[in-house]
């Protein structure tokens, strides 16, 4: 069972470079999320999507962009990488809006900007 798959798992970027973190889920979930986790901290929401073609900003969207052209995929684009974007990025998905539906997380992508 694949669940939520993130790639790459590790990446080093130079300041000013751009890259895309890929996220795919095979559970036909409507809701998808991108979180970042800074060292020793909790997770903060970057962007989320309630379905294909619909995205919205979370708490910390600056410096990122997303798209949701299909139900399965939710890529996160980093433009002009900065050291402040060094973090662990988690993609997640959820089947519906009911509070009890748990959110399934990918294994995380470790990004270092130097």
| Interface positions with another protein (CB under 8 A) | 31, 33, 35, 40-45, 48, 50, 56, 58, 88, 90, 92, 94, 97-100, 102-105, 107-108, 110
State in angstroms the smallest separation of the CB of 27 from another protein.
14
d(CA 3, CA 31): 13
Cβ neighbours, 10 Å, residue 67: 16
Name the minimum Å distance from CB 71 to another protein: 16
User: Shortest distance, CB of residue 93 to another protein, whole angstroms?
Assistant: 11
- Rounded Cα gap, residues 23 and 55, in angstroms: 14
Distances (CA, A) of 29 to 13, 53, 101, 105: 31, 14, 11, 12
Query: Nearest approach, Cβ of 4 to another protein (angstroms)?
Result: 10
Tokens, residue 73: 């995929």
When the beta carbons of 16 and 51 are compared against another protein, the nearer one is 51
Q: Give the residue with the Cβ less far from another protein, 28 or 98.
A: 98
Nearest CB to another protein, comparing residues 14 and 98: 98
Q: Which is nearer to another protein, 26 or 56 (CB)?
A: 56
Q: How far apart are CA 49 and CA 68, in angstroms?
A: 7
């Amino acid at each position: 069972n694949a669940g939520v798959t993130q790639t790459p798992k590790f990446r080093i970027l130079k300041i000013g470079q751009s890259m895309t973190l890929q996220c795919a889920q095979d559970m036909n979930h409507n809701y998808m999320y991108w979180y970042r986790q800074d060292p020793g901290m909790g997770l903060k929401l970057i962007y989320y999507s309630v379905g294909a073609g619909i995205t919205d900003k979370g708490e910390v969207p600056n410096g990122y962009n997303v798209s949701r052209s299909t139900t399965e995929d939710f890529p996160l684009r980093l433009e002009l990488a900065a050291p402040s974007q060094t973090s662990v990025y988690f993609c997640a998905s959820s089947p519906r809006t009911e509070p009890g539906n748990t959110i399934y997380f990918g294994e995380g992508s470790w990004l270092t900007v130097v």
